[in-house]
Amino acid sequence: MKKWALGALLLTVSISATAAERVALVIGNSAYPSNWLPNPVNDATDLSAVLKKLNFVVIPVLNGNKTVMNSKIHQFLQNINSQTKVALFFYSGHGSQYRGTNYLIPVDANLQNATTLPSSSVTAQSILSKMNTRRAGLNIMVIDACRTSPYQGVANITYIPHPKTLDV
């Protein structure tokens, strides 16, 4: 991730918003049982610190299972309303794309094959769609996903080796 670019964007945004007008959900998932990632928790921790200095209300999630991720996503969405100037969603961890849908994979995902992705993961599109209905002034979604399998031996899931864009 180009940290300087995200930093510049956040600095620009911070000039015009006050603390009650900024909310962020920052998720960093590293502790996958069979394919641990070294950077997501560190990135999420660093970004959370920067956002707090910029007076964001930060909801951090480190090594979130599906229940925790869904709960914190719900909490994040409840904090967004028409008075919110900036809503920022950040995810770092394993991710996958299957049949045009982008999946954010919790650390406890039970992936058996491609058909288990929807029940074991969270879709980026659903989060963005719900953010849009909350009517914040600006929605920012940053996905820093490793597109390799978080579980060895899982068949029938295509991991895209190159980043794909998400319509916003």
CATH of the domain at 141: 3.40.50.1460
C-beta pairs of 73-82 under 8 Å, 24+ apart in sequence? 73/25, 73/122, 73/127, 75/25, 76/23, 76/24, 76/25, 77/130, 77/131, 77/134, 79/23, 80/23, 80/131, 80/134, 80/135, 80/136, 81/134, 81/135, 81/136, 82/134, 82/135, 82/136
pLDDT tens digits, one per residue of 45-62? 999 999 999 999 999 999
> In this predicted structure, what is the pLDDT of residue 10?
55
Mean pLDDT across the stretch 109-131? 91
Number of domains into which the chain is organized: 1
Expressed as residue numbers, the domain containing 75 is 22-146
In a domain, 12, yes or no: no
- pLDDT above 80: residue 80: yes
Is residue 165 situated within a structural domain?
no
